[in-house]
Amino acid sequence: MNSETLLSLIFAYLALACVAFAVLVIMLRNPVQCALALVGVVFHLAGIFILLRAEFLAAAHIIIYAGAIIVLFLFTMMLLNLGVVERARQFHVQAPLAIVVGAILFLEFVVLTGATITVGAQGAHSPAWVAGQGGNVQALGQVLFRDYLLPFEIASVLLTAAVVGAIVLAKQKPRRPRSSSQMGVGEWMAERYEKAKTREQDPAEPR
């Protein structure tokens, strides 16, 4: 067994596992199990990246996906207390139609893969160049921080905006009403109106 066959076998395993876990993600009832299946997908995908000699991205996927995003999912589930298995119907009525369209789309992708889009100009970053930089991480660093520094920094702005947005969206509304001196006039009027309305509905309530 030469190394090429071995690598192909490893790829076959990793790819099949990826697909299998991905199918589990969309098939399982329990969201927690889905999240764990997603972790499986990410781990096997990281293997594929190693196969492609993209070690840094393999590590980054595990750290960011498994370590951050999926943990965030799990946190959210716990926060919303959705750990219990939902008895309700899981799939949408349009599922059969969607599967047909998905299958057609997949077929089209495969056709296109074999036919047209696999050609392209060879870039400058040959394996020899990568080795010359000292490895994948150094090579990626060279590209990212020298040629694409500005987009990288802009990405940080995007992340900052996302953090702020997330906090604003998820922030709890204050339970206790503020004292009237802290309210705007409109708010104060609205509250007075509400109070008056409840009094009207329930005259027994003391003023």
Partner 1 sequence: MVQVAWLIPALPLIAFAINGALGRTYLKKRTGIIANAGVLGALVVSVLLFVAQLDHAEPETVSLWTWAVSGDFALDIVLRVDALTLVMLLVVTSVSFMVHVYSIGYMDNDPGFWRFFTYLPLFVFAMIMLVMANNLLVLFVFWEAVGLCSYLLIGFWFERQSASAAAVKAFLTNRIGDVGFLIGLLLIWHVFGTLNYDEIFSLAPVVEAARPGILTLICLMLFVGAMGKSAQFPLHVWLPDAMEGPTPVSALIHAATMVTAGVYMVARFNPLYVLSSTAMTVVALVGAFTALFAATIGLTQNDIKRVLAYSTVSQLGLMFMALGVGAFTAAIFHLATHAFFKGLLFLGSGSVIHGTDEEQDMQRMGGLFGKMPVTGATYIIGGLALSGIIPLAGFWSKDELLGATLLSGDLGYLLFVLGALASLLTAVYTFRMIFLTFFGKTRMAAERFSHVHESPRVMTVPLIVLAVGAVGAGFVGVPPEHGLIHNYLHDTFLAAEFAGLVHVPSTVFVLALMAVSTVIALLGILVAYGIFMRRSPAPESVAGLAPPLHALLVNKYYLDDFYDAVLAGGTRTAGGLFAWFDLNIVDGVVNLIGLVVRGVGGGLRRMQTGRLENYAFSVALGTALVLAFYIMMAR
Partner 2 sequence: MIIPALEYYLVLGAALFIIGLLGVLVRRNLLIVFMSIELILLGANVTFVGFAVALNNMLGQAFVIFSLTVAAAEAAVGLAIIVALSRHRDTLNVDEIDTLKG
Residues found near partner 1 in the complex (CB under 8 A): 92, 94, 97-98, 101-102, 104-105, 108-109, 111-112, 115-116
49-88 positions binding partner 2, by CB under 8 A:
49, 51-54, 56-57, 60-61, 64-65, 68-69, 72-73, 76-77, 79-80, 82, 86, 88
- Least distance in Å: CB of 112 to partner 2? 9
Q: Does 144 bind partner 2 (CB under 8 A)?
A: yes
Site for partner 2 in 170-189 (CB under 8 A): 170
Which partner from the list partner 1, partner 2, none does 118 bind, CB cut-off 5 to 8 Å by kind?
Answer: partner 2
Residue owning tokens 């139609």? 97
Report the nearest approach of partner 2 to the CB of residue 195 (Å). 23
- Per partner kind, with CB cut-offs from 5 to 8 A, the member of partner 1, partner 2, none near residue 113 is partner 2
| Smallest separation (angstroms) from partner 1 to the CB of 115 | 7
Q: Distance between CA atoms of 53 and 30, rounded to whole angstroms?
A: 35
Q: Which two tokens stand for residue 60?
A: 């980054």
Distance from C-alpha of 165 to C-alpha of 171, rounded to nearest angstrom: 10
> What's the distance, Cα to Cα, between the start and end of the chain in Å?
89
Binding partner 2 (rule: CB under 8 A), the pick from 78, 85, 95, 190 is 95
Give which of partner 1, partner 2, none residue 111 binds (C-beta under 5 to 8 Å, depending on kind).
Answer: partner 1
Quote the CA–CA distance of 43 and 109 in Å, as a whole number: 24
Q: Long-range pairs for 130-133 at CB < 8 Å and ≥24 separation? A: 130/53
Candidate list 1, 84, 87, 94; residue touching partner 2; CB under 8 A? 94
Handedness of CA 28, 9, 55, 49 (dihedral sign): negative
- The answer to whether 113 and 105 have CB atoms below 8 angstroms apart is no
63 vs 95 by CB, closer to partner 1: 95
Q: Is 193 in the site for partner 2 (CB under 8 A)?
A: no
User: What tokens appear for 30 in the block?
Assistant: 């329990």
Asked whether 125 and 143 are in contact (CB, 8 A), the reply is yes
Cα separation, 58 vs 47, in Å, equals: 7
Is 17 among the residues that bind partner 2 (CB under 8 A)?
Answer: no
